[in-house]
Amino acid sequence: MHIKDKIRVLVAEDNQVVAELIKQSLAKIGFEMIGLAITGSQAVEMTIALCPDVVLMDIEMPDLDGLEATKQIQRRQPTPVVILTIHEGEDLIEKASEVGASAYLTKPPKVQEIERAIIMALARHGDLMECWRLNRELEKALKEIKELQGILPICSSCKKIRDDKGYWNQIESYFRLHSEIGFTHSICPDCAALLYPDFNPYNKK
């Protein structure tokens, strides 16, 4: 989003005095406060319903704390979140980043700090979501590799494969279930010569 656009902000803050100060600050920098959530659960539901550009999230909220609310927002309606806190610290910053917050502010926030944090959150959110997407893809790939590791018991006669539960499966069924491999049936020259000697296209006369 271009910083000159009208940025829509949802504020999650149970202290009415602080909420009003934030509302006034947002108006001064030309941002629109589209709603006020006074509990963590409200913050999640209002984010889903209103689709704000950014959420200013108090970390100490009734019902659901700001970190858990942020985590649920990123799972259900990924949105840039700025954490509001009285006490900052490396541990808090790390936890906020882990649940998907893109920036943080100490209370009471100043006008310039709010503007800077919101712009930073908007810029970082896309990068954060891309990192999460790549991590999910990596975890999926590692899981698929793990499923295909090790020694597979295979029948020396019918070539069925025994799975980890002791059941024997057709080889194509096993690989279709545990990988992205698909099968199409054909017949090799050796089998064609053995089974269809009179109709074998591989026989040279």
Per-residue pLDDT tens digits for 27-73:
999 999 999 999 999 999 999 999 999 999 999 998 999 999 999 99
d(C-alpha 128, C-alpha 29), whole Å: 26
Is the pLDDT confidence value at 202 over 70?
no
What is the domain partition of the chain in residue ranges? Answer: 8-138, 149-205
d(C-alpha 162, C-alpha 152), whole Å: 7
Per-residue pLDDT tens digits for 131-169:
767 777 777 777 766 555 666 788 888 878 887 788 888
Could you tell me if 69 and 81 are in contact, meaning their C-beta atoms sit under 8 angstroms apart? no
Is the pLDDT confidence value at 19 over 60?
yes
Per-residue pLDDT tens digits for 168-200:
888 878 777 777 777 777 777 777 777 777 765
d(C-alpha 31, C-alpha 162), whole Å: 62
Closest CA to 37 of 52, 163, 25: 52
**What's the predicted TM-score (pTM) here?**
0.62
Tokens of 93: 């910053």
Confidence category of residue 2, pLDDT binned at 50, 70, 90: very low
CATH class of 8-138: alpha beta
